[in-house]
Structure 1
């Protein structure tokens, strides 16, 4: 009996059961802890990788921006640009006549300014960047020419020895000189017409010659004044590009012009322009103003300072009152770009001591005075006046450049030019008068390209893209 009792007690003995449960629990907790530690370590590794990856992008971007700023500084240096233009002029003068016809003056000058393709390194060791978590940071930036007046910046940002990202940006360089960048020899007091000529007998041509590449008057409408037309006159002209990129990248720092004077210490976007009389001080630096909508009617803008001012206008309201811009100022220091058609209505007038690029043309029924050049992209130029109320004048070999457009000289309008007009089609109607007031010499000035001395180069950056 005792033996069975003890056997039963042995099988019912629960001593040590708690220890087993504790051990199993510790095993489970240990496994979970190890798994959690592994997950955390992996997350930290991924986070560190993403952090370094993003830092590498920012370093690449910083290197690209630095290189772009250096290029812009070179192109903005008046001394550097003038020296390059001087060397380009000397080289141009050494060319043959056929070589001159295909010579790209601006592209050659920019090549001298920027030099050959180059590679620049910015690093934390040189003090350009700070180290990231004790890792060396470095941007290797390449600048290379890919086309005429087009360059590409490629920047590789690197963290340590492993993580890197590469981005690139294409930059167009536009020439906003106060004279179109064509060294073609063009005679003053001449209207160069690439296409159709419509010349009525009542049109008055005073000291003016019409030049055409056509061999004869066949295909043209000419009534009288045949002695004023020169046939078989070839000429080469390339319209400067309109800086469309600038209109898509207005600076975000907008201001309101509520006072009568403003000093520009940076490029700005204008929202409002309330004062009828405004003085803009550009100081000694080149500045730009970006305007979405502008009504110039009844306004006077005075520009002071030795720097050059470029104004970009999306939409210029029709002019219903007289407006004066930079009156008696240096015409070489003002360039205006207008995207929409310029309309000068009624008895209003527009006076600009500078140059203007009207992309979609000009329609004036009163008085238009431009001391520099008028350049038209794709619209037409309509000059509709009565008597002596319309004229385009210049104080230095400047004129009208509209090789893609028509120019309509209508009614009793009068137009004065000092250099020449380049146009696709020209129409003289009614009692219109056009008078040449320039010297009977070539704009080439004894084969020297003096008109290119005021070239201004501007950067038009494309979007930044990442290279795989």
Structure 2
């Protein structure tokens, strides 16, 4: 009897061991399955997140390039139409359909971001949508960003009367065959405010006929100070609609801070010419030209402001190259003499001079210039 019970107990023990092994095997298999699924899910999630980061990096890179170009274009365009035209040319020729591959490899795969840009609106401000498709192997993910580009009107020169070359507050002195080709407006009339001597004179913009000085009507008879032997003195006419110089105050006050580039001093002497090309508004402390040398300023088809502390054209020539307009702001001293010329072969719309100095504005020698000149303290 005792022997039988012992044998039964051995059978129960074996059964318990077998059941334990089965349970452990099932648990191990389940845990292995769960672990494998988790590893696979983690890998997929990693790849999914990686493609998102590539897409995000692509859209940010395209946005940075677009922003940089918008700022550069705004510097060189003075109206809304040309601004947006230039922006669109850049976007759809340089950015749209571009592929960025400047990423580190991800598990032997080369990531890339495919960029597409769509214009959403036509008005100002204008909206664009940047789409970036991140790609790693066969996995893709897209990130989008809507960008608003706005044109903000600049302080522009108010409409200037036709054929006017010089608008001055107080007085003008022309000596030594200096010439102004275009009419003159004298805002504060008085006796002997326009002085001509040594051949200096004021001509019409066609250079073949006498120019005209516009003053308040009660100063017509006494404003000219010329020698008795002078011939073909300019006509003096009374005007009740002289230019309002105060309308330029905003432009005159902000011009010195409108530059984004500093140039080295320009000193030209001996037997040499010099060329500079402007691609943005610029500042230089000094421009000095002697010895009948030339300074060619290339502006392309854009409008630029060049701010100068001291401008000395003792005997030389300044040539404006391009179809745009150069606005020259002279803050302190302005001297021009000898047989100097400024924009001689250009047209009056290519060059505007703004003089801020406290000294009297004078043209001497055989000076010839073709520009609009506006003096804050003349």
Normalised to the residue count of structure 1, the TM-score between the two structures is 0.42
Task: Judging by fraction of residues, say which structure has more helix.
Answer: 2
- When Rg is computed on C-alpha atoms for both structures, the one with the higher figure is 2
Normalised to the residue count of structure 2, the TM-score between the two structures is 0.49
> Which structure would you say has the larger RCO, counting Cα contacts within 8 Å and 6 or more residues apart?
1
